[in-house]
Amino acid sequence: MKQYLSENSEKILEELFTILRVPSISADSSCKNEVNLCAEAVAKLLEKAGMDKTEVIRTAGHPVVYSEKIVDLKLPTVLVYGHYDVQPVDPLNLWETPPFEPVIRDDQIFARGASDDKGQLFIQIKSIAYMLHKDMLPCNVKFIAEGEEEVGSINLGKFLRDHKDRLAADIVLVSDTGMISLEAPSIMIGLRGLSYVEIEMTGPNRDLHSGLYGGAVANPAQVLCSIIASLIDENGKVTIPGFYDDVQELPDSLRSQLAQAPFDLELYKQKLDLREVAGEKGYSVMERVGIRPSLDVNGLWSGYIGEGAKTVLPAKAAAKVSMRLVPNQSSEKITESFIDHITAIAPKTVRLKTIVHHGGEPWCIQTDVSAYIAASQAVKEVFGKEPVPVRGGGSIPIVALFEAELGLKTILLGFGLDSDAIHSPNEHFGVSNLFKGIETVPLFYKYFAESQ
C-alpha cells in the first residue's frame, strides 16, 4: 500500500485538486453552477475508481452524488457519506493564496475544502479505488456525497427517506472530523448539535442623523448589544430559560476518561494568540467544547461600516446567533426557547424579526460496538497507537439523520487536525493526513468485514 501511494502520489494529489478547484460554496446562491460542476467532478472520480451505477441525483437544493459496488450480497455493506460543498471564503484578503487554487506549502494542501470535506471525501474514494484495483474490497459499498452539508443538509432527510431501500447498509462511514494529532490519534464518539437563528431589530423607519435624534430615539444597535450581552451570565452560562434542562450531565468517571486526551493549555492559547481562554465556570477547555453547550455570535451588523465616520443612528441592527447543543438537547426545542426569550426581553422601542437557519441534533456512540472496534484497530495499525475516544465540539447533523432515517450507526473516521483552519482563511490539510487516511480506510473495511 505504502509503495502504491508513493509511486502514485503526484497523480493522486492532482486528482484531489480537480475537485478543490471548484468553488462549490453551498451558502452562496451565485455559486449554484459551480456546486453542480463539483457534483459532476466527484461522480467522475467515483466512476474512475471502478464504482457502478454512479449518478448525480437532483434534490430541491444541491444534488447528491450516488454510487455503489455490490461485491456479494452476503458481505456486509458500508454506506460512505461525505460532502463536496464548502464554506464561504470571506474574508478573502486574509488568504495567502486564492482559496480555489490549491497549492502545497510545507507539506500542507492549501485550499477551501482541503480538509472540510473534499480532502477527506477523497480519502474514501481513493481507498475504494485502491481496494477495487487490487481486487480486495471485502464489503459492498454504497456512496453518497451531498452538496448541502455547510447549509444544514436541508434536503438530505428527504433523500434518505426517498431512497431508504437502496441505501440499506450495516454501518455508515464518514471522514469529516479530526484527530488530536498524527502522534495522538483519536476517534470522535460524540458531536454537538446546532441551533442557528438570525435576529433583526428595527427602530426608526429610516436611518437618522445621530445629532438630531441621538439621545431621544432608541438605537437598535445598542438594543441588540444589550440583548446579546444578556445571553451569557458572569459564570459563562447561557441565560435562556430551560437551556440546560435536557443537558446530559456526565458522571465523573466518564469525565476522567475523556480528560485523558492530551491537551496543552499554553500551546492552545499560543496557537490562537490569546492571553486568556473563556467559558463556562467549572469545566475544562475540552469539556467546554465537547460535553457542554455554548452560544456564539457568528455575525453582527448595523449602520455605517465603511471607511471614515458617518453620524447615523441606524434604523436596523442584526445578528446571526448559533448555539451548539449536547445530548439530550433538542435543536427544535432550543431554537424555540431562544426565540421566545429574545421576544420576551426585546424592548418596545424596537421591532423584532427572527429567521431560523439550519439546525442539527447532538449525537454520541458507544466504544464497544464492532464497527468502532474495527476503526480503532485500523487506526492503531497505521498510526502505531490506540486512538483516544473524544467528544467533539462541531456538528455533523447528518449523523443523527442516519440514525433516525436509516437506523444506522455512524463511524467518524476523521483525519483532519484542529490546526487545519476549516471554515477560516488558509484552510489546509496535511499531505501525510491524506495518505495515512488512504492507508487506514481499507483496514477498517477488512476488520469490519471480519467482525461481521
Determine, following the binding rule CB under 8 A, whether residue 136 of this chain makes contact with a second copy.
Answer: no
Report the run of H or E that residue 289 belongs to, with start and end. Answer: helix 285-290
Cβ–Cβ < 8 Å for 180, 262? yes
Q: Which of residues 406-435 bind a second copy (CB under 8 A)?
A: 418, 421-426
Single out the residue of 58, 164, 310, 353 in contact with a second copy (rule: CB under 8 A): 310
Q: Report which of 366, 397, 448, 409 is spatially closest to residue 127, judged by C-alpha positions.
A: 448
Set of cell numbers at residue 99 = 482559496
Distance CA 68, CA 53 (A): 6
Site for a second copy in 32-61 (CB under 8 A): none
For a second copy, the closer CB: 269 or 380: 269
Q: How far apart are CA 186 and CA 179, in angstroms?
A: 5
The site map against a second copy for 64-103 (x = CB under 8 A) is -----------------------xx-xx--x---------
- Binding status of residue 221 toward a second copy by CB under 8 A: yes
- The distance of closest approach from Cβ of residue 305 to a second copy in the complex, given in angstroms and rounded to an integer, is 4
- When binding is defined by CB under 8 A, the residue of 9, 33, 181, 226 that contacts a second copy is 226
Taking the C-alpha atoms of residue 23 and residue 100, their distance in angstroms, rounded to an integer, is 6
Do the bridges between strand 363-364 and strand 140-146 make them parallel or antiparallel, or are there none, so unpaired? Answer: unpaired
- Candidate list 218, 339, 346, 364; residue touching a second copy; CB under 8 A: 218
Q: At its nearest, how many Å lie between a second copy and the CB of residue 281? A: 12
Terminal Cα-to-Cα distance of the chain (whole angstroms):
24
Q: What angle do CA 133, 83, 112 make, to 5 degrees?
A: 100
Does residue 278 come out as left (phi exceeding 0), alpha (psi in the -120 to 50 range) or beta?
A: beta
Q: Return the number of the residue (51 or 121) whose C-beta is nearest a second copy.
A: 121
The residue from 140, 302, 331, 377 that contacts a second copy (CB under 8 A) is 302
**Strand locations in 73-170, DSSP E?**
77-83, 103-105, 108-110, 140-146
User: Please, which residue, 7 or 245, has the CB nearer to a second copy?
Assistant: 245
CB-nearer residue toward a second copy: 15 or 116: 116
Q: Report residue 114 as a C-alpha cell.
A: 482541503
Could you say whether residue 210 binds a second copy (CB under 8 A)?
A: yes
Number of residues that bind a second copy (CB under 8 A): 99
CB of 320 to a second copy, least distance (A): 6
232 binds a second copy (CB under 8 A): yes
Q: How far is the CB of 204 from a second copy (least distance, A)?
A: 4
Q: How far apart are CA 178 and CA 381, in angstroms?
A: 18
Judged by phi (left if over 0) then psi (alpha if -120 to 50, else beta), residue 63 lies in: beta
- Told to check if 319 binds a second copy by CB under 8 A, we report yes
Nearer to a second copy, 111 or 141 (CB): 111
Segment lying near a second copy (by CB under 8 A), choices 32-40, 199-207, 249-257, 429-437? 199-207
Asked if 371 interacts with a second copy (CB under 8 A), we say no
| CA–CA separation, 54 and 46 (whole Å) | 7
Hey, how many other C-beta atoms are within 10 angstroms of the C-beta on 262? Answer: 11
Query: Considering the rule CB under 8 A, would residue 162 count as an interface residue with a second copy?
Result: no
194 contributes a contact to a second copy by CB under 8 A: yes
The identity of residue 392, as a single letter, is G
Q: Which of 228, 261, 364, 431 binds a second copy (CB under 8 A)?
A: 228
Per the CB < 8 A criterion, the answer to whether 155 and 230 are in contact is: no
- Nearer Cβ to a second copy (164/209): 209
Shortest Cβ 280–a second copy spacing (Å): 7
Distances (CA, A) of 238 to 276, 279, 359: 20, 10, 18
Q: Which is nearer to a second copy, 67 or 177 (CB)?
A: 177
Grid cell, residue 45, equals 472520480
Which listed residue (48, 107, 211, 239) binds a second copy by CB under 8 A? 211
The correct pick among 347, 353, 367, 432 for binding a second copy (CB under 8 A) is 347
Question: b/e per residue, 44-75, with b = 16+ CB within 10 A?
Answer: ebbeebebeebebeebebbbbbbbbbebeeeb
Considering the complex, state which of residue 50 and residue 98 has its C-beta at the smaller distance from a second copy.
Answer: 98
Taking the C-alpha atoms of residue 204 and residue 217, their distance in angstroms, rounded to an integer, is 8
Smaller CB distance to a second copy: residue 193 or 387? 193
CB of 115 to a second copy, least distance (A): 11
Q: Which of 1, 5, 28, 369 binds a second copy (CB under 8 A)?
A: 28
142 binds a second copy (CB under 8 A): no
In the bound state with a second copy, the residue whose beta carbon lies nearer, of 393 and 442, is 393
Using CB under 8 A, which residues numbered 248 to 287 contact a second copy? 272-280, 285-286
